[in-house]
Structure 1
Amino acid sequence: MPTIDMPLDQLQAYTGTNPRPDDFDAYWDRALAEMRGTDPQIELVPSEFQTPSAECFDLYFTGVRGARIHVKYARPRGISEPHPAIVEFHGYTGNAGNWSERLAFVSLGFSVFAMDCRGQGGSSEDSGGVKGNTHHGHIIRGLDDDVPDNLLFRHIFLDTAQLAAIAMDMPEVDETQVYATGGSQGGALTIACASLEPRIRKVATVFPFLSDYRRVWEMDLAKDAYAELRTYFRFFDPQHKREDEIFTRLGYIDIQHLAGRIKGDVVMGVGLMDTVCPPSTQFAAYNKITSSKRLEIYPDFGHEGLPGLSDKFIQFFLQE
């Protein structure tokens, strides 16, 4: 079988290359304390898009550092008793997508919360000096600040956990049955969400991004979604004098180091020919998960649609 990474038996034992900062746990404890001290100022605005079976709302909340975060919230019409909910996260630079993409889950009795990441292609704010779209460069945003607490993906990871807690507090949602899903950046945010909000019951993730940055660099795959790593070194550390320092700081927002906090059941899809998010970086996160988990492996597929996987995710969410 052709390969772009390690053989499968090595992938199954691989535990990552990127360093974990010594104060990693204290960093995220401090971040979560900031999140919990933030008044979310939740606002629900009925959307122009409505269907006979789904009530649709633009939900807004205030995340850390004052950013207003936008979420597409769709719930089954006429069902008031507590029922399961799904929080969804999109790919890098994208947005929450169309309302119609929520309707399959709503038809099955789920409420759905699809978040626009701050500063990317949706309607959420980026409060780091501007409002609106900053689109690219989010991995390296805050990398040269005096403290690592200003890394942009710290804030985005916190947004996911804050949204999950908001969903759990909705009277129509069963707080014991809140699930998370997404692919690529959305797959990374799914893992971050379930790590920082361990009440997430089920986790369905596919080819997660934002994992094991140094491994990406060593494979010469700092391109496509990871291109800003190469750009950063070329502009700000052309002789790599700060390489260890930079990768250690990136370790704060490396999902492999968060994955061990997950308590929910996990299904993860991976394509072994993925050159955007290399398989070894995905296995680095998966292999640190200690809760119930399973892999769906696609040997001939890369960073693309994986046949039948979305059906497997639906069945996973419907299982008792």
Structure 2
Amino acid sequence: LDCRGQGGLSEDAGQAPGWTLRGHIVRGLDGTPEQLMFRHIFLDTAMLARVVMDMPDVNENRVGATGGSQGGALTLACASLEPRIKKAAPVFPFLCDYKRVWQMDQAKDAYAELQEYFRKFDPLHKREEEVFTRLGYIDIQHLAPRIGAEVYMGVGLMDTVCPPSTQFAAYNKITTKKSLEIYPDFGHEALPGHSDRIFQFLSDL
């Protein structure tokens, strides 16, 4: 399963074939919350998990999820929407605490479309509160309390793409057993040895 708007063998070519570079966060923002693109992507991950877990050769009691950046966000979204997920190992998750991103003047790189949206559609910021309230529907920190899985998360404190404080906003709202691995000198990049640690974490399933 490929994410909507990001190409791949299973892309949703009914809207636009190939990769749509920008606008995934804000797509649907001027409609209803049900029309937000990432709402559909979150639900896609849960549906895929259900399809896999219902396969006859899969033990539904031994399924986990892992991913980094957008994949980290989808890991947490999947674990929040599919209660049978037993373990989740997100790495520097994206899509957390949009308002914090904005207040830190970090609406660039992966979050650049936030600034682009205001420049094009609300240059005087008359709808700023409304915009961030609506983005709350696809903010991982608000899904985090629903997670029933054990969580093992990795964060690089030098991350300027997904600021650590936004990631902590989601982590702090997880109420299940959880642990956090912090890499003080690393950013949004490969974290040395972390893949092996995730493997060990998931191998207990």
- TM-score bracket for the superposition, by shorter chain length: over 0.9
Structure 2, unaligned runs of 5 or more: none
TM-score, normalization by structure 1: 0.62
Counterparts of 2:160 and 2:18, CA distance in 1? 30
Q: Please state if 1:173 is matched with 2:58.
A: yes
Higher helix share: 2
Q: Determine the structure 1 residue equivalent to 2:88.
A: 203
Residue identity over aligned pairs, in percent, reads 73
Paired residues of 1:268 and 1:295 also in contact (CA < 8 A): yes
Question: Aligned with 1:311: secondary structure?
Answer: helix
Higher strand share: 1
Paired residues of 1:180 and 1:190 also in contact (CA < 8 A): yes
Counterparts of 1:245 and 1:168, CA distance in 2? 38
Q: Please state if 1:156 is matched with 2:41.
A: yes
Residue type matched to 2:21 in 1? H
Structure 1, unaligned runs of 5 or more: 1-70, 72-115
Q: Determine the structure 2 residue equivalent to 1:246.
A: 131
Q: Determine the structure 2 residue equivalent to 1:18.
A: none
Question: Aligned with 1:291: secondary structure?
Answer: coil
Question: Aligned with 1:176: secondary structure?
Answer: coil
| Offset, 1:149 | 0.7
Question: What pairs up with 1:214-225 in 2 under 5 angstroms?
Answer: 214-225=99-110
Paired residues of 2:65 and 2:88 also in contact (CA < 8 A): yes
Counterparts of 1:205 and 1:252, CA distance in 2? 20
Counterparts of 2:36 and 2:124, CA distance in 1? 23
Counterparts of 1:292 and 1:158, CA distance in 2? 24
Deviations 1:54-99 (A, max 9, x none): xxxxxxxxxxxxxxxxx3xxxxxxxxxxxxxxxxxxxxxxxxxxxx
Residue type matched to 2:156 in 1? G
Paired residues of 1:191 and 1:255 also in contact (CA < 8 A): yes
| Offset, 1:122 | 1.8
Deviations 1:76-132 (A, max 9, x none): xxxxxxxxxxxxxxxxxxxxxxxxxxxxxxxxxxxxxxxx11110323333674344
Give aligned pairs, total. Answer: 205
Counterparts of 1:294 and 1:235, CA distance in 2? 41
Measured on the aligned residues, the alpha-carbon RMSD in Å equals: 1.2
Residue type matched to 2:198 in 1? F
Deviations 1:139-158 (A, max 9, x none): 0000012x111000000000
Q: Please state if 1:121 is matched with 2:7.
A: yes
The structure-2 alpha-carbon separation of the partners of 1:161 and 1:256, relative to structure 1 and needing over 3 Å to count, comes to: same
Residue type matched to 1:205 in 2? P
Q: Determine the structure 2 residue equivalent to 1:281.
A: 166
Residue type matched to 1:144 in 2? D
Paired residues of 1:119 and 1:132 also in contact (CA < 8 A): yes
Question: What pairs up with 1:1-320 in 2 under 5 angstroms?
Answer: 71=1, 116-126=2-12, 129-145=15-31, 147-320=32-205
Counterparts of 2:10 and 2:103, CA distance in 1? 34
